[in-house]
């Protein structure tokens, strides 16, 4: 399991995922389905996230089924950044969709 901060165009969110990386193609696809196609990601220590979120972490994890591979733990960017400092974040990991540029004729 991974925990990570995903910085999107609308602000940071904290996610939990069963994928082995924040750039796993299936995770990227799931984020895309939620309207997140371009992001900067930072992995966090699982135990540190668990400690920071306590009961809320347990509730979210209790709702995580084998077939569920993405959970948003926190969508309040102010709280996410209040809970973690930059030294705790790995990365950054950049993801943007492949862009095709066409020259006007």
Give domain status of residue 47, yes or no.
yes
Asked whether the predicted pLDDT for residue 15 surpasses 90, the reply is yes
Task: Give the number of other CB atoms < 10 A from CB of residue 61.
Answer: 14
Task: Give the number of other CB atoms < 10 A from CB of residue 75.
Answer: 14
Give domain status of residue 100, yes or no.
no
Residue numbers of the domain that contains 86: 2-95
Give domain status of residue 101, yes or no.
no
Domain count of the fold of the chain: 1
Give domain status of residue 62, yes or no.
yes
Residue 6: strand pairing partners: 13, 41
Give domain status of residue 105, yes or no.
no
Give domain status of residue 19, yes or no.
yes
pLDDT in tens, 21-77: 898 999 999 999 989 989 999 999 999 999 999 888 988 887 665 556 888 899 999
Give domain status of residue 76, yes or no.
yes
Asked whether the predicted pLDDT for residue 84 surpasses 80, the reply is yes
Predicted local distance difference test score (pLDDT) of residue 62: 78
Give domain status of residue 58, yes or no.
yes
The H or E element containing residue 73 is: strand 70-74
Predicted local distance difference test score (pLDDT) of residue 74: 94
In what order do the strands lie in the sheet containing 39-44?
Answer: 70-74, 11-17, 2-8, 39-44, 93-95
Is residue 101 very low, low, confident or very high in pLDDT (cuts 50, 70, 90)?
low
Of residues 57, 64, 69, the one with CA closest to residue 28? 69
């Amino acid at each position: 399991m991974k925990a990570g901060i995903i910085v999107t165009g609308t602000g940071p969110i904290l996610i939990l995922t069963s994928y082995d990386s924040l750039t796993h193609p299936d995770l990227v696809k799931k984020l895309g389905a939620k309207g997140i196609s371009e992001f900067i990601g930072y992995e966090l220590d699982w135990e540190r996230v668990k400690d920071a979120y306590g009961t809320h972490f347990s509730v979210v994890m209790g709702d995580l089924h084998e077939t569920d591979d993405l959970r948003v733990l926190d969508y309040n960017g102010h709280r996410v950044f209040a809970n973690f400092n930059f030294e705790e974040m790995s990365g950054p990991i950049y993801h943007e969709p492949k862009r095709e540029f066409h020259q006007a004729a």
